[in-house]
C-alpha cells in the first residue's frame, strides 16, 4: 500500500505541474478525489490489507495532501487572474482620454504644491481656511481697528450679512493661533479677493500663501533663513531679492520682500509695472497685539509671518507675462503645465 501511495503521489505532482487552468485542476481533483478516483480506489484496496489501521492513516494523509495542493493551486490561479485584470484595466480605461486631451494641473496649483512641499519638509503643517470671513478675522484681530487707514489698502467686498471675502490670507492667523497655540509652524494657502482694477500684475481674485512660525527666541534671522530657503527651493537658481521696510499693522518690524522681475530680467516691463522688481512676499515679526489676540504668551514667545503672493510667484516661475491669463480659462495656454 505504501509503495502504491508513493507512486500515486509522484504521478499527482507531475499532473499538478501541468494543470495551469481551472479546468485542468478540476479534472485532477476528480481523478484523485472523485467517487471513482485514485483515493477511492485505495480505500477499496483496504479490504485486502492486514494492517488496516496504518494503511488507512497513510491513505488519509495522502488524501489531505492532495486536497491542500489543489486548493493552493486554485488560489494561485485566482490571484493571477485578478492581477491580469488590474494590468488590463491600466492599459484601457474607457473613462480616460476618450478622444480628448488629458487634464493638467493649473499652474497656480503646481506652484502651491511646490511651496507646500518645501515648508512641509521644514516641519510646517498645511492649513485650509474659509474664503468668507468676518471683520474680526480679517482686520480687528490683526491690529487693524475700524477706520484704520490700512483698511483702504485692501478694497474689500462686503456681503449683506456683514461678512466679507477674505482680502488676505492673514485673516486665518488668529484662528490658527487659537487652534494650535505655541510653538507653531503653519502655512495656509488661500484665494483672496480685492476690488482692484486689474493689470498685468494685479487681479481681483488671486492666491496668497500665509506662513507663521511662533516659538521661543524667534528672530528676524529665522525669518530671512526661511524666506531664502523657500525661494531657492522653488526657483532652483539664484535670483536677486531685496528686503526693504514695509508697513503692515500686524507685524513690527515689517518688510517688503521683492524679487528681480524674471520676465524682463530687471529692465522694466508691464509685468513689474516697469520697475524691474515685483512685490512678492511681505513679511515681518508678528506684532505682540496680534499674538495676544491669538492667546499666545508674549513674555515667552515671538514669531514671524509672511504673505507670499502665490499667483505672482507662478507668473515668475512659469514666465507668464500677464496675471490675467491665470483666470482666463484658456485651456490651450494653461494646459502646458503638466508636471508637479
Ligand atoms: C498682505 O496681504 C499681507 N497680509 C501680507 C503679510 C502677511 C505681511 C504677513 C506681513 C506679514 P499685500 O497686500 O502686500 O500684503 O499682499 C501680499 C502679496 O500678495 C503681494 O506682495 C503680492 O505678491 C500679492 N498681491 C497683493 N495684491 C494682489 C493683486 N491684486 N493681484 C495679485 N497679487 C496680489
Taking only the tens place, the pLDDT of each residue in 222-238 is: 999 999 999 999 998 88
Q: Quick one: which atom of ligand 1 is closest to the CA of 312?
A: 23
The answer to whether the CB of 255 is under 6 A from ligand 1 is no
From the CA of 108, how far away is ligand 1's center (Å)? 16
From the CA of 83, how far away is ligand 1's center (Å)? 51
Question: What is the distance between the alpha carbons of residues 297 and 4, in angstroms, rounded to a whole number?
Answer: 87
Average pLDDT value for residue range 70-85: 86
Residue of 208, 254, 283, 286 to mutate, ligand 1, most atoms within 8 A of C-beta: 208
Lookup: cell for 281: 512676499
The answer to whether the CB of 167 is under 6 A from ligand 1 is no
DSSP string covering 222-239: HHHHHHHHHHHHHH-S--
Ligand 1 atom 6 nearest Cα: 307
- Indicate whether this model's pTM tops 0.75: no
* Residue with grid cell 524674471, as numbered in its chain: 262
Residue of 143, 151, 168, 211 to mutate, ligand 1, most atoms within 8 A of C-beta: 168
Instruction: Give the pLDDT score at 80.
Output: 85
Task: Find, among 238, 234, 313, the residue nearest to 271 by Cα.
Answer: 313
The answer to whether the CB of 190 is under 6 A from ligand 1 is no
Average pLDDT value for residue range 64-88: 86
> CB atoms < 10 A from the CB of 192, how many?
25
* Residue with grid cell 480505500, as numbered in its chain: 43
- Domain 107-339 has what CATH class? alpha beta
Ligand 1 atom 14 nearest Cα: 282
Instruction: Give the pLDDT score at 340.
Output: 42
Taking only the tens place, the pLDDT of each residue in 255-288 is: 999 999 999 999 999 999 999 999 999 999 999 9
Question: What is the distance between the alpha carbons of residues 38 and 93, in angstroms, rounded to a whole number?
Answer: 47
The answer to whether the CB of 186 is under 6 A from ligand 1 is no
Taking only the tens place, the pLDDT of each residue in 290-304 is: 999 999 999 999 999
What 3-state class would DSSP assign to 261? Answer: coil
Taking only the tens place, the pLDDT of each residue in 235-259 is: 988 889 999 999 999 999 999 999 9
Domain boundaries, the chain: 2-88, 107-339
Q: Is the CB of residue 134 less than 8 Å from the CB of residue 163?
A: yes
Amino acid at each position: 500500500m505504501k509503495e502504491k501511495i508513493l507512486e500515486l503521489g509522484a504521478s499527482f505532482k507531475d499532473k499538478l505541474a501541468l494543470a495551469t487552468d481551472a479546468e485542468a485542476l478540476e479534472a485532477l481533483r476528480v481523478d484523485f478525489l472523485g467517487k471513482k478516483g485514485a483515493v477511492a480506489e485505495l480505500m477499496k484496496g483496504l479490504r485486502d490489507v492486514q494492517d488496516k489501521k496504518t494503511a488507512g492513516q497513510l491513505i488519509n494523509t495522502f488524501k489531505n495532501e492532495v486536497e491542500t495542493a489543489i486548493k493552493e493551486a486554485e488560489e494561485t490561479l485566482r490571484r493571477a487572474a485578478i492581477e491580469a485584470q488590474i494590468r488590463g484595466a491600466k492599459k484601457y480605461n474607457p473613462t480616460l482620454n476618450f478622444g480628448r486631451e488629458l487634464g493638467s494641473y493649473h499652474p497656480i496649483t503646481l506652484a502651491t504644491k511646490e511651496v507646500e512641499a518645501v515648508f512641509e519638509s521644514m516641519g510646517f503643517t498645511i492649513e485650509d481656511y474659509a474664503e468668507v470671513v468676518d471683520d474680526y478675522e480679517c482686520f480687528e484681530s490683526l491690529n487693524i481697528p475700524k477706520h484704520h487707514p490700512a483698511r483702504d489698502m485692501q478694497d474689500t467686498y462686503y456681503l449683506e450679512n456683514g461678512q466679507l471675502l477674505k482680502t488676505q490670507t492673514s485673516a486665518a492667523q488668529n484662528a490658527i493661533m487659537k487652534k494650535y497655540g505655541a510653538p507653531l509652524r503653519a502655512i495656509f494657502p488661500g484665494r483672496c479677493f480685492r476690488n482692484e482694477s486689474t493689470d498685468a500684475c494685479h487681479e481681483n481674485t488671486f492666491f496668497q500663501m500665509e506662513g507663521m512660525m511662533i516659538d521661543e527666541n524667534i528672530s528676524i534671522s529665522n525669518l530671512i533663513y526661511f524666506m531664502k530657503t523657500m525661494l531657492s527651493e522653488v526657483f532652483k537658481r539664484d535670483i536677486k531679492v531685496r528686503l526693504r521696510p514695509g508697513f503692515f499693522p500686524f507685524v513690527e518690524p515689517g518688510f517688503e520682500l521683492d524679487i528681480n522681475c524674471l520676465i524682463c530680467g530687471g529692465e522694466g516691463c508691464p509685468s513689474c509695472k516697469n520697475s524691474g522688481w515685483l512685490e512678492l512676499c511681505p513679511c515681518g515679526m508678528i506684532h505682540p497685539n496680534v499674538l495676544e489676540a491669538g492667546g499666545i504668551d508674549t513674555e515667552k514667545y515671538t514669531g514671524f509671518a509672511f504673505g507670499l503672493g502665490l499667483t505672482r510667484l507662478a507668473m515668475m516661475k512659469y514666465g507668464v507675462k500677464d496675471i490675467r491669463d491665470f483666470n482666463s480659462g484658456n485651456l490651450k495656454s494653461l494646459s502646458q503645465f503638466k508636471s508637479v
